[in-house]
Amino acid sequence: MTRKTGPVGALLACGLAAAPARAKEPVEALAAKVRARETAFAKTMADRDHAAFATFVAEEALFLGAQRALRGRAAVAEGWKPYFEGAKAPFSWAPERVEVTDSGTLAISTGAVFDPGGARIGTFNSTWHLEKDGEWRVVLDIGCPPCRCP
């Protein structure tokens, strides 16, 4: 005997199928992947590789600067282009803390920003999104003066 479901049952079944599943990997393993992505992202600045930098930025990214917001990968890449001019990077950064949501699709990385001499000049906060192609990309980014958060 087959059981028929009504329109509500069909909608619920479709909704459950479309809902994101819990991460298949432990959040600690995902955090390690995001940390590695953040480190590789920072290396694009050290390597002076503007094209590689852009590949780490989500299409719908929002980077908040002191004067304006840059919206979208193309605008972020264009806005950051001056930082890639010259032989030496004007700053560097390194993750200190990475946390991933239980769903395994969003993460935050935060850490120090350094001047060329190695002095800490700020703190970055980047939100990463696990995209359909399986790559983590920055979707939100904001920097601030150095902070000492608990």
Among 46, 70, 45, 44, smallest CA distance to 59 is for 70
Residue 102 has pLDDT above 60, yes or no: yes
Interval 38-95: pLDDT, tens: 999 999 999 999 999 999 999 999 999 888 999 999 999 999 999 999 999 999 999 9
What CATH code is assigned to 23-144? 3.10.450.50
pLDDT value at position 14?
A: 38
Residue 117 has pLDDT above 70, yes or no: yes
Q: Write the CB contacts of 113 (distance below 8 Å, at least 6 apart in sequence).
A: 91, 92, 93, 120, 121, 122, 123, 124, 143
pTM recorded for the entire structure: 0.81
pLDDT value at position 149?
A: 52
Q: For the beta carbon of residue 72, count every other beta carbon within 10 angstroms.
A: 15
Interval 119-138: pLDDT, tens: 999 999 999 999 999 999 99
In whole angstroms, give the CA distance from residue 20 to residue 104.
9
Interval 10-39: pLDDT, tens: 433 433 343 344 458 899 999 999 999 999
Which residue blocks in 47-72 are alpha helix, DSSP H? 50-55
Q: 3-state class of 100 per DSSP?
A: strand
